Amino acid sequence: MKIIEGGIAAAKGFYAAGLFTGIKNKRKDMALVYSKGPCKAAGTFTTNLVKGAPVKYDMEMVKLSPYAQAIVVNSGVANTCTGKTGMEYCRQMAEAVSTNLNIPQDSVLVASTGIIGKQLPMDKILWGIENLAPILGNSPEDGTSAAEAIMTTDTKKKEIAIEFEIGGKTVVMGGMCKGSGMIHPNMCTMLGFITTDISISKELLQEALCTNVQDTYNMISVDGDTSTNDTVLLLADGMAGNPEITERNDDYYKFLEALNYINTYFSKRIAEDGEGATSLLEVNVINADCKEQAKKLSKSIVSSNLTKAAMFGHDLNWGRILCAMGYAGANFNPDTVDLYFESNAGKIKLIENGVEASFNMELAKDIFSESEVIITADIKMGNEKATAWGCDLTYDYVKINAEYSS
């Protein structure tokens, strides 16, 4: 497996573009992704009962349409809590893409992110689609332009592409995502789009995405809020020329490994770019009795506001970590827990068998002051493990969200 240039437009047959339309004040705010040929499509979506119109639209399209061929995305306005008008605007977006690219309307997927409760400015949206279609390209710059256009409070674009071997053929997978606040997903992330030229059945494509999301996007928490518009879409156009994957064989698991690489990368980038964040927190729970126990414990630690605040202040208040484990809803013995802190500055054991160990305080503070900190909790009950990602909780998080719609 090798990282390559190109992002969302790296795989054979895919094109992308980003554009400023005026939905937002200054930054690019619309992106278009297009495949020359029909694609198998898979998707995962928010479990929030309040779902954006694009989520409802895409859920139906992914399930019922024979194939997908384009994704149109706007940032700045979420098209959520917009009633029948919002659904009609989704259809108008798909129709406009269909007209401009000469593809079936039901092959177009739509996505929106931004402020909830406002109607889409359709004059700008339709102008954007008309002007995106002619500038579609497959260069790394085209992929980057699309990645920039889907950002909201993100401070960094998030994109990656890799290549790997399947059935004697070189397969490429690339993607882009956005996410900074309202991150506490369950079944997906904020907005994530992945393209690949692998040949695989629609059923296994959906299975792979649903399976991998559980160990990647579902293990992030920035602020405990589950978005109304969370969406991950995965398109496969089959242009790599590998024998179609129709069963869970070695090729399927190689594909799953590549998908996990992409989604883990995005999960960490979303966590470290949490609104106002200054550091990335990775939490590993090891030697658990079962996978679900490890997931509950690691997610509880990474979601703890007290732990996140201590991380921002470089405060070695390890009691907050054990406290978060205690209310996670997973049974364990606090008297056997070992707790380790690790970063580029070194590694120390803070707790041994549930009580404070002897450690170098200055080294501990240096470790906790790095931009990426790893906490490992060994609960000594079995052989299972899980990893979760989050970030510190800063003054800037409150400031950003106090002024979000102003």
Amino acid 165 reads E
Is 84 strand, coil or helix?
helix
Query: What is the DSSP secondary structure assignment for residue 276, as one 8-state letter?
Result: T
How many Å separate Cα 45 from the centre of its chain? 11
- Facing residues of 115 across strands? 77
Q: Which two tokens stand for residue 362?
A: 């200055």
CA distances from 301 to 142, 165, 220, 279 (A): 39, 37, 11, 15
CA distances from 75 to 26, 118, 154, 183 (A): 12, 12, 11, 16
State the architecture of 2-272 in CATH terms: 4-Layer Sandwich (3.60)
Nearest to 24 by CA among 120, 90, 157, 142: 120
Nearest to 236 by CA among 25, 19, 4, 42: 42
- pLDDT value of residue 133: 98
* Residue 293 and residue 330 in contact, taking contact as beta carbons nearer than 8 Å: yes
In angstroms, the CA 63 to CA 203 distance is 11
- pLDDT value of residue 228: 58
Q: Which two tokens stand for residue 348?
A: 């120390």
The dihedral built from the CA positions of residue 312, 314, 320 and 321, taken in this order, carries a sign that is: positive
- Does the domain formed by 280-402 have CATH 3.90.79.10? no
- pLDDT value of residue 394: 80
Nearest to 188 by CA among 384, 289, 43: 43
Q: Which two tokens stand for residue 73?
A: 């995305």
In angstroms, the CA 16 to CA 29 distance is 14
Question: What residue ranges do the domains of the chain occupy?
Answer: 2-272, 280-402
> What one-character-per-residue DSSP string does 116-184 give?
TTPPP-HHHHHHHHHHHGGG-B-SHHHHHHHHHHT-SS-SS-EEEEEEEEETTEEEEEEEEEE-SSS--
The dihedral built from the CA positions of residue 10, 14, 20 and 26, taken in this order, carries a sign that is: negative
189 among known catalytic residues? yes
- pLDDT value of residue 103: 98
Burial class (CB in 10 A: 0-12, 13-18, 19+), 309: middle
Burial class (CB in 10 A: 0-12, 13-18, 19+), 68: buried
Dump pLDDT digits (tens) for 303-341: 998 988 888 888 888 899 999 999 999 999 999 999 999
Work out the angle at residue 315's Cα, subtended by the Cα atoms of residues 311 and 319, and round it to the nearest 5 degrees.
90
In angstroms, the CA 56 to CA 230 distance is 11
* Residue 153 and residue 180 in contact, taking contact as beta carbons nearer than 8 Å: yes
Nearest to 13 by CA among 191, 235, 192: 235
Instruction: Count the neighbouring beta carbons within 10 Å of the beta carbon of residue 405.
Output: 10
* Residue 55 and residue 110 in contact, taking contact as beta carbons nearer than 8 Å: no
Active-site choice (80, 144, 189, 196): 189
- pLDDT value of residue 187: 35
Report residues of the chain scoring pLDDT below 50: 181-189, 223-225
* Residue 353 and residue 336 in contact, taking contact as beta carbons nearer than 8 Å: yes
Dump pLDDT digits (tens) for 174-223: 999 997 544 444 433 479 999 999 999 999 999 999 999 989 988 887 64
Instruction: Count the neighbouring beta carbons within 10 Å of the beta carbon of residue 382.
Output: 14
In angstroms, the CA 120 to CA 81 distance is 11
